[in-house]
Amino acid sequence: MSKGLGTTVGRSSRRRILRLAGGGITMAALGAGLTGCEDELATGGESSTPPPRGASPEDGKAPADGKAPEPLWTKSTSAQTYGDNDELVAVDGVVIASGDPLAAFDGATGEERWSLPGGAVPGAPLLLGDGTLYLESGKYDGSVAGYVPGSGKEAWRSRLGKEYRQPRPVAVDAEQVYVIAEILEADGSSHTNVIAALNSGTGKVAWKEQRDLGTQQNGIHAAVQGRYLVYTDFKNNLTVRDTATGKQVWTHKTTKTSYGPFAIHQDLVIVPQGQQLQAFALSDGSEKWSVRTEEFTSFREPSLLEDVLYIADSARTLWAVEPGTGKKIWQSTALKDASAQVPRQFVKVGGTLYGATDLDKQGGIHAFDAKTGGLRWTFNDKSGDYHSWLVATDGKRVYALHGKKLHALPA
């Protein structure tokens, strides 16, 4: 599932603008727009090397509650991330962060296993499907490529066609890779875009459908569930298409700005929309349940882990919800009590839930008791880097990326 992108409700966030830059808009063009962004940036100039924390935990185990673990290893990387959850992945014994060159590090030791110059467009999703890592080509040659994650060897390549520009994978399943691309005009300009499916075996185009005028090829977040391809975009659309034909099944205008991550559970798509968290039927778009948070409070990005939906709100309340019914399992005010930042991305290992925050001050990687939402500890490298934290896990370790520093923490 392709995930990512958090926003400040009703305003343009720095991560949103940087994400647009990752989609092919140059930073030079965006330079003026970055001034005055609404996110509060912590841009301290200190080195991003974490300070000493004493002895490492015995046998790689996390320390007692209240004290963050010392990293098992820390590496400087070529990472160029823009705050999306799918820019850091852990698979087949390696951990990979979006960047140029694209580099994979051994999960146990931190040693570089392979490097791929021009392998991916920085900020583009790192999509995993059927043992393959799918990437938009960093060579900007109109191709989409698939690699073996453990070795970096190319396993698949496809081109949508010369009449299209910058095809970007947005979702994958066992049979197809779904891409968004600009449709080129005779003068080289582009005003429309296409969504298409590429066969993951042959690379041939299975179908392609032109999207409505005014839609954008950037800012797409997508996932596949059975016969349904689901995606959100910057135009506040929630759209479902048939994976076999590409035909639109239904689309909704979201009531609040919601162009970021969502969750899929069985036959439901679950979308945060400001004060509401809503679940819609994949088959027809009918609302199945809705949860409301406090007035003047907004839900952040959801994560579905082991059949529990975890989500935080802007009032620093952490929720655990039954995804099929919307029934609350628990609520925790531990973040508010600790004056800690709200996480926007979660992973889970055993009985611990790990959350990555957006900005640095009072944030980092939070560790929670998955049964109660109690805050156990927070890891922060004290670098003051303004980049969002990203988190991934292989079930043995938790990987935290902050700027160009990649840390491995004991799970």
**DSSP letters spanning 59-127:** GG---STTSPPPPSEEEE--B---S-GGGEEEETTEEEESBSSEEEEETTT--EEEEETT-S-TTS--E
Confidence of residue 287 (pLDDT cuts 50, 70, 90): very high
* φ and ψ at residue 42, rounded to 5 degrees: -105, 105
pLDDT at 225 over 70: yes
How much is the pLDDT for 214? 67
pLDDT at 213 over 80: no
Structure tokens at 97: 């962060």
How much is the pLDDT for 346? 98
Contact 361, 19 (CB under 8 A): no
Structure tokens at 359: 């900005």
Kindly report, residue by residue over 107-142, the tens digit of the pLDDT: 999 999 999 998 788 778 899 998 999 998 877 788
Dist. CA 206–CA 18, nearest whole Å: 32
pLDDT mean over 27-56: 35
Q: What is the largest CA-CA distance in the chain?
A: 64
Kindly report, residue by residue over 234-268, the tens digit of the pLDDT: 888 899 999 999 999 999 988 766 567 899 999 99
How much is the pLDDT for 138? 79
Dist. CA 140–CA 124, nearest whole Å: 12
Dist. CA 94–CA 113, nearest whole Å: 8
How much is the pLDDT for 259? 64
Torsion of CA 6, 9, 11, 13, to 10 degrees: -20
pLDDT mean over 257-286: 91
Dist. CA 220–CA 127, nearest whole Å: 13
Predicted TM-score (pTM) of the model is 0.83
Higher pLDDT, 353 or 31: 353
* φ and ψ at residue 271, rounded to 5 degrees: -130, 125
C-alpha closest to that of 258 among 317, 332, 311: 311
How much is the pLDDT for 140? 79
Partners of 348 in beta bridges: 353
Q: Strand 397-402's sheet: what is its strand order?
A: 73-76, 405-410, 397-402, 389-393
pLDDT at 106 over 90: yes
Confidence of residue 64 (pLDDT cuts 50, 70, 90): low
How much is the pLDDT for 49? 37
Dist. CA 204–CA 25, nearest whole Å: 28
Contact 335, 353 (CB under 8 A): no
Higher pLDDT, 97 or 139: 97
pLDDT at 219 over 60: yes
Structure tokens at 229: 């391809």
Q: Tokens 């007692």 label which residue?
A: 64
Torsion of CA 352, 353, 356, 361, to 10 degrees: -70
